[in-house]
Amino acid sequence: AQSVTQPDIHITVSEGASLELRCNYSYGATPYLFWYVQSPGQGLQLLLKYFSGDTLVQGIKGFEAEFKRSQSSFNLRKPSVHWSDAAEYFCAVGRYSGGGADGLTFGKGTHLIIQP
Amino acid sequence: GAVVSQHPSRVICKSGTSVKIECRSLDFQATTMFWYRQFPKQSLMLMATSNEGSKATYEQGVEKDKFLINHASLTLSTLTVTSAHPEDSSFYICSAAPGTQIDNEQFFGPGTRLTVL
C-alpha cells in the first residue's frame, strides 16, 4: 500500500525567506505526486503535480517541486514566501490502475506559519 | 472553471439521525467522485470512490451501510451518514474528476463540518 510522510507538522518562516516542505512517499510503481494547499473555509487547491517527464515541476503561486526517485521524495519549494502563503500544505500520491483516476493518499500535512 | 460545491457547509444533528451531504460539480461533468474524511489536525482519508451510475467502492474499514453514497448524475454525488453517532463527527470533503484519463486532476469541494450531539 502506498503512504506519504510529511515529517514537519509545523514550519515557521519569515516573510521573504525561502521555503522547503518535505514529502517522502512509498509506492510500488511509478508515483503520481501532488501538492495541495488548504486554507480555512476553502477547498484544497492544487499547487502542482508530477506524472512523468521533467522532475522539476513548476506550479502556481511561485511554487515548485522536485521529484527524486532515488530518495522517494517530492519536496515543495518557494524562493520567497508571502504572508498569504500561511496555510496547511498536503502532499499526496495518486493511485492509478489501468488508466482510471483513483483516490489519493495524503500525508498528514504541514502547517506553515509566516512571521512578519 | 472546475468548481465543486458542497452543501451544507456545516450541520449539527442529534445522535441516531441521518444526514445527507451533497457534492456538485458546477461547471463540468464528473465521471468519478471521491469522498474523504478529515479529523482535526489530521490528514484526509479516502472513504470511497463513486462512478456515475454504478455502486461506490469503499475503502477497507469504511462501513458501506453507514456511509451511503449515491452518484446519480454526472454532476451530483451524495453521502448519507445513517444513524449518526458522535464518533462520526468530522470534516467530510468530496472531490470530482472530469474523466478517467491517467493524469486526471481532482477538484475538491470546500468540505462539510458534521457535528453529532
pLDDT per position as a tens digit, A76-88: 999 999 999 999 9
What would the mean pLDDT of A95-111 be, rounded to a whole number? 78
CA B4 to chain CA centroid, Å, is 11
Contacts of B93 in chain A (CB under 8 A): 43-44
- What three-state secondary structure class fits B90? strand
Q: Which of B38, B46, B100, B87 is nearest to B69 (CA)?
A: B46
pLDDT over 90, % of chain B: 68
Q: Chain B interface, mutation test: which of A4, A23, A44, A51, most B Cβ atoms within 10 Å?
A: A44
Residue B59: DSSP 8-state: P
Amino acid at residue number A112:
L
Round to whole Å and give the CA distance between B95 and B105.
10
Structural contact between residues B79 and B46, judged by C-beta atoms closer than 8 angstroms = no
What would the mean pLDDT of A34-61 be, rounded to a whole number? 90
Residue A71 is predicted with a pLDDT of 94
Question: Across the interface, which of B42, B46, B49 has its CB nearest the CB of A108?
Answer: B42
pLDDT over 70, % of chain A: 95
A 10 A CB-CB count for B15 gives: 12
- Measured in angstroms, the CA of A58 and the nearest CA of chain B are apart by 16
* Distance (Å) of CA B69 to CA A94, B32, B59: 22, 12, 13
Structural contact between residues B61 and B45, judged by C-beta atoms closer than 8 angstroms = no
Structural contact between residues A102 and A96, judged by C-beta atoms closer than 8 angstroms = yes
A 10 A CB-CB count for B109 gives: 28
What would the mean pLDDT of A32-44 be, rounded to a whole number? 88
pLDDT per position as a tens digit, B90-110: 999 999 988 755 566 789 999
Residues composing chain A: 116
